Structure 1
Amino acid sequence: MSLFADTPLQLPDAELDFYPQWLNAELADLWLQQLHRQTPWQQPEVNLFGRCHPVPRLLAWYGDAGIGYRYSGLYHVPLPWTPLLAQIRTQLVDFVGQPLNGLLLNYYRDGQDSMGWHSDDEAELGRDPIVVSLSLGGGRRFDLRRKGQQRIEHSLHLDHGSLLVMRGSTQHYWQHQIAKTRKPCAPRLNLTFRYVLDGDGFAHEQ
Structure 2
Amino acid sequence: MLNPNRTLIYSENLSLEYIENFFDSDQCRSYMTQLTDRVRWGSEKIKIWGKEIVTNRKIAWYADAGKSYAYSGSTFFPTQWNGVLLQLKRRVEEYAKIKFNSVLLNKYPNGGVGMGWHSDDEKELGIDPIIASLSFGANRDFIFKHKTNKNLRNVKVHLKSGSLLFMLGSTQHYWKHSLPKRLKVKEPRINLTFRNILEP
- Is this a same-fold pair by TM over 0.5? yes
Shift of 1:125: 0.7
- Deviation of the 1:152 alpha carbon: 5.6
Residue identity matched to 1:48: I
For 1:38, the aligned partner's letter is R
Q: Distance in 1 between matches of 2:24 and 2:159?
A: 14
Separation (CA, whole Å) in 2 of partners of 1:101 and 1:32: 22
Which residue of structure 2 lines up, in the alignment, with residue 136 of structure 1? 136
Cα offset for 1:149?
5.2
Q: Structure 2: 5+ residue runs without aligned partners?
A: 1-5
Shift of 1:167: 1.2
**Count of aligned positions:** 194
1:86 is aligned to 86
Which residue in the other structure is 2:97 paired with?
97
Corresponding residue for residue 159 of structure 2? 158
Letter in 2 for 1:31: Y
* Residue from 4, 7, 27 that aligns with 1:2: 7
- After TM superposition, give the deviation of residue 74 of structure 1 in Å: 2.6
Deviation readout 1:71-104 (Å, 9 max, x if unpaired): 3443221010001111111111111111100100
Q: 1:17 to 1:98 in 2, by over 3 A?
A: same
Report the alpha carbon displacement of residue 24 of structure 1 after superposing the two structures with TM.
0.9
Alignment match, 1:18: 18
SS of 1:127 mapped into structure 2: coil
- Distance in 1 between the 2:112 and 2:53 partners? 14
5+ unaligned residues in a row in structure 1: which ranges? 5-9, 201-206
The answer on 1:108 being equivalent to 2:85 is no
SS for the counterpart of 2:93 is: helix
Q: Which moved further from structure 2: 117-126 or 40-49?
A: 40-49
CA RMSD of aligned residues (A): 1.6
Does structure 2 retain, via aligned residues, the 8 Å contact 1:56–1:112?
no
For residues 153 and 41 of structure 2, the distance between their equivalents in structure 1, rounded to whole angstroms, comes to: 31
Contact 2:112 2:185 in 1 (8 A): no
SS at match of 1:89: helix
Structure-2 residue corresponding to 1:173: 174
SS in 2 for 1:55: strand
Aligned in 2, Cα 1:110/1:174: closer, same or farther, shift over 3 Å?
Answer: same
The Cα shift of 1:15 comes to 1.7
Moved more, 141-150 or 126-135: 141-150
Task: Percent identity, please.
Answer: 38
The aligned counterpart of 2:50 is 50
Distance 1:121 1:72, change over 3 A: closer
**Counterparts of 2:55 and 2:8, CA distance in 1:** 29
Q: Distance in 2 between matches of 1:57 and 1:11?
A: 30
- Decide which structure has greater strand share: 2
**1:29-63 CA distance string (max 9 Å, x none):** 10110011111211132221132211241100000
Q: Which stretch shows the higher mean deviation, 41-50 or 85-94?
A: 41-50
2:138–2:185 Cα contact (<8 Å) kept: no
Task: Work out the CA distance in 2 between the residues paired with 1:146 and 1:19.
Answer: 23
Query: How far apart are the structure 2 equivalents of 1:60 and 1:39?
Result: 7
TM-score w.r.t. the length of structure 2 is 0.91
